[in-house]
């Protein structure tokens, strides 16, 4: 993998330092510039235990939905809209048709509250179904 950092254009925009990530409100994803939002890997969201929110597709996806809702609500002057609550999950593939699932709230304090479910064939089947669902949705 290449080094993980914000694209040069994002750093040049003043949204993030060259060696850092875009600071956002952890619930609305709004940057220090009003009505400018950042989601996904370019963001740096510190957690209570001192580490950042992991960079994961599940968070980028949920944050995208939240920001879309906030923008739609602002345009329609309909109130504040959704908020991002730090919840997420991921399958943990183990091979041979077995997977696990870890799910939790990364905004919980003093530390993220994560539960790892016992691995089994059903989680692997769930992962395949999840993949097929989004594949069909997008392509
Ligand atoms: C090997 C690997 C495995 C992973 N596995 C998982 C997993 O199992 N589960 C999970 O939840 N997450 C996983 N992740 C993390 C997940 O892929 C990322 O968190 C997610 O893709 C972030 O989405 P994003 O939209 O923020 O950024 P990206 O997916 O990186 O999208 C950014 C896009 O912006 C484009 N771009 C960059 N610069 C410019 C520019 N100047 N102009 C226009 N476009 C530009 C890029 O080409 C890219 O398409 C994995 C990551 C890696 C590397």
| Residue with tokens 């699932």, as numbered in its chain | 101
The answer to whether residues 80 and 73 touch, using CB atoms and an 8 Å cutoff, is yes
Q: What is residue 106's predicted lDDT score, i.e. its pLDDT? A: 97
Burial class (CB in 10 A: 0-12, 13-18, 19+), 87: middle
Where does ligand 1 bind, in terms of residues with CB under 6 Å?
1, 7, 9, 40-41, 55-58, 60, 90
Q: What is residue 72's predicted lDDT score, i.e. its pLDDT? A: 96
Q: What is residue 138's predicted lDDT score, i.e. its pLDDT? A: 87
Q: What is residue 2's predicted lDDT score, i.e. its pLDDT? A: 85
Nearest CA to ligand 1 atom 28: 41
Size of the chain, expressed as the number of residues it contains: 139
Give the other-Cβ count within 10 Å of 47's Cβ. 18
The answer to whether residues 79 and 21 touch, using CB atoms and an 8 Å cutoff, is no
Q: Is 92 helix (H, G, I), strand (E, B) or coil?
A: strand
Give the other-Cβ count within 10 Å of 45's Cβ. 23
> Domains (ranges, CATH) in the chain?
1-84 (3.50.50.60), 85-139 (no CATH)
Ligand 1 atom at minimum distance from 10 CA = 41
Ligand 1 atom at minimum distance from 40 CA = 26
Nearest CA to ligand 1 atom 20: 57
pLDDT means over runs of 10, the chain (139 residues): 89 87 97 96 94 95 97 93 95 96 96 96 97 92
């Amino acid at each position: 993998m290449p080094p993980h950092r914000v694209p040069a254009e994002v750093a040049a925009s003043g949204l993030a330092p060259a060696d850092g990530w875009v600071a956002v409100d952890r619930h609305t994803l709004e940057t220090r510039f009003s009505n400018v939002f950042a989601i996904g890997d370019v963001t740096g969201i510190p957690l209570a235990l001192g580490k950042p929110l992991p960079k994961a597709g599940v968070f980028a996806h949920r944050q995208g939905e939240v920001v879309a809702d906030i923008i739609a609500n602002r345009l329609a002057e309909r109130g504040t809209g959704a908020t991002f609550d730090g919840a997420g999950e991921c399958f943990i593939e183990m091979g041979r048709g077995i997977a696990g699932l870890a799910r939790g709230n990364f905004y919980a304090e003093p530390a993220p509250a994560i539960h790892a479910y016992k691995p089994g064939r059903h989680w692997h089947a769930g992962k395949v179904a999840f993949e097929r669902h989004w594949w069909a949705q997008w392509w």
